[in-house]
Amino acid sequence: MEGAREPNARRRPTSHTTVAVLLAVAAVLAAAIGARAALLADEGSDTWHGAVRADVKAGAAVVEDSRFVYGEEAAQAFQLTEAKLRARELRKEASDRSGEAKALLEAQAKEQDQLAQTLSQSSSVAGDPRYAARDGGFDAVRRLADRRAKNPELTRLDPDATEKRGADRSREASLLVGAVVIVAIAFLLGALAEGFPGLRRILVPAGFAIAGIGLVAALAVEVSL
């Protein structure tokens, strides 16, 4: 009798085997989706760190450019403007005077001219007509813009976009872990099928269906994001 039953048993899997297959499928699916989620989470994390690095780089460039333009170049340009203005006003005042007063005021104006000349020679930017403001003085904003344009790779940095990219990757990882929860329901049904043999006919196909839904959900996450 035993010998006669054995070939049939080999051909058709027993219900225990089906449950075992369901549990194994659920476990393997959960592990595979979990591994992919871990990779994506790592990628998202790295991208976020990249956003911080980009922010540091971009911020340092802005700070240095602002310090250089306003702290050094604009200060020198203002001294130059001051010398030129004082020379002009002294000369204007001298033109209304005569004698010793005129000579003294003109001498002081000349002194300011010389100072302006020295300042112009010491800075290529302070006296550059490109940065001469319409109402007098120095166009610091234009100068800052030109200085920023020298390093386009720094002005193109967009830490917000990098952070968003990282958030997308990370959200994808989280959704994949959500798909693992669906697969875990399949595992639950498989386990229940083992404990409640009477419901096995319903629980096992439902378990396979839910495992399939979990797989489809994971693929949908992978494709859509």
**Looking at this protein, which amino acid is placed at residue 164?**
K
User: Which is closer to another protein, CB of 55 or CB of 117?
Assistant: 55
Residue 130 DSSP class = G
**Looking at this protein, which amino acid is placed at residue 37?**
A
The size of the interface with another protein (CB under 8 A), counted in residues, is 84
**Window 10-39: contact mask with another protein (x via CB under 8 A):** ----------------x---x---x--x--
**Residue-by-residue DSSP string for 4-37:** HHHHHHHHS--HHHHHHHHHHHHHHHHHHHHHHH
Structure tokens at 101: 């007063």
Q: How far is the CB of 17 from another protein (least distance, A)?
A: 16
Where does this chain touch another protein (CB under 8 A) — which range of 2-10, 122-130, 152-160, 216-224?
152-160
Residue among 41, 80, 116, 211 that touches another protein (CB under 8 A): 41
Residues 6+ apart with CB under 8 A from 19: 190, 193, 194, 200, 204
Residue among 39, 52, 216, 225 that touches another protein (CB under 8 A): 52
Confirm or reject binding of residue 97 to another protein (CB under 8 A): yes
